[in-house]
Amino acid sequence: MTRLMKCARSGVVAGLAIAAGAGTVVAQTPGAGAQAPAQSGTASHLIDGVRDARYCEIIPIVRDGRRFVATVYNTLGLNDCPPAVWNGLNGAALRKRFGAIKVVLNGPRHFLMDSITADGATAAGKTIDVGGLALTERASIGLDLADLRREPYRARAVGRETRYLYKAGSPVFLLEAPDGSRYVMQAYAQIVDKTLSYADLPAFGARLKMQSGWRYVTMVPENDLVVGAHGEATVVQDELQNTYQKLD
């Protein structure tokens, strides 16, 4: 996966980070509690021990003719997005710094898988400092105007080559769609509900105002669950901006 990803159907800026939330080149450097990338050649990069690891993203959006370009910067491998620094960021100042029409503060978020493997050529960009917060450039994504709308429970495609491992014996949290499709939560967000925690997730379904036919399910797999994305992942978000990837 190259640093420049053109996701014609990516939609919603939050969906792109789904980011980084677990979709852009997240497996380049270790995050909180993570081990160093596996040295198994240049084709894949592993981050282990990321369950409940906290991260944040800054996503400036600039106009490019009739389209927009969103650049994703995230804290993975650099810091755990300290609240005092993150909460002190100023949207107007960020728009001026990046020359952006909009800057999305995507976070804090927490991963729910146990490890992430990214395949393909990876190339992280420069590391920047924003108000005392270190972030690395992870991707540039082309967007259409329609992509800037946020719609919970709408499936969207995100370009990436990743494998998420959910270890046997640990809980996973799923959305089941009316057509029977299942989506596993890859990251929960403390954006709408700043107090949401990992401990809240088993009973979290009671809080969701899901569309007709959707269900929230908690399960504990007996075997490791591997969720792959081979060039493209299908993702949805709930109304609290938690992100889920469709199971094969």
pLDDT of 80-94, one tens digit each? 999 999 999 999 999
Q: Average pLDDT, stretch 93-114?
A: 96
More confident call, 160 vs 234:
234
Model pLDDT, residue 15: 41
Model pLDDT, residue 9: 31
pLDDT tens, 186-221?
A: 999 999 999 999 999 999 999 999 989 999 999 999
pLDDT tens, 42-74?
A: 457 788 899 999 999 999 999 988 889 999 899
Model pLDDT, residue 146: 59
d(CA 180, CA 177): 5
Tell me the residue range of the domain where 198 lies. 4-246
Model pLDDT, residue 43: 54
Count how many domains the chain has: 1
More confident call, 243 vs 66:
243
Model pLDDT, residue 10: 32
Is pLDDT of 26 > 80? no
Model pLDDT, residue 30: 32
End-to-end CA distance of the chain: 20
pLDDT tens, 133-174?
A: 999 998 788 876 656 667 899 988 877 778 999 999 999 999
Which residue type does 70 have? A
Say if CB 89 and CB 104 are below 8 A apart.
no
Model pLDDT, residue 22: 41
Q: How many CA atoms lie within 13 A of 167 on its CB side?
A: 9
d(CA 162, CA 150): 24
Model pLDDT, residue 48: 87
Task: Read off the pLDDT band of 117 (50, 70, 90).
Answer: confident
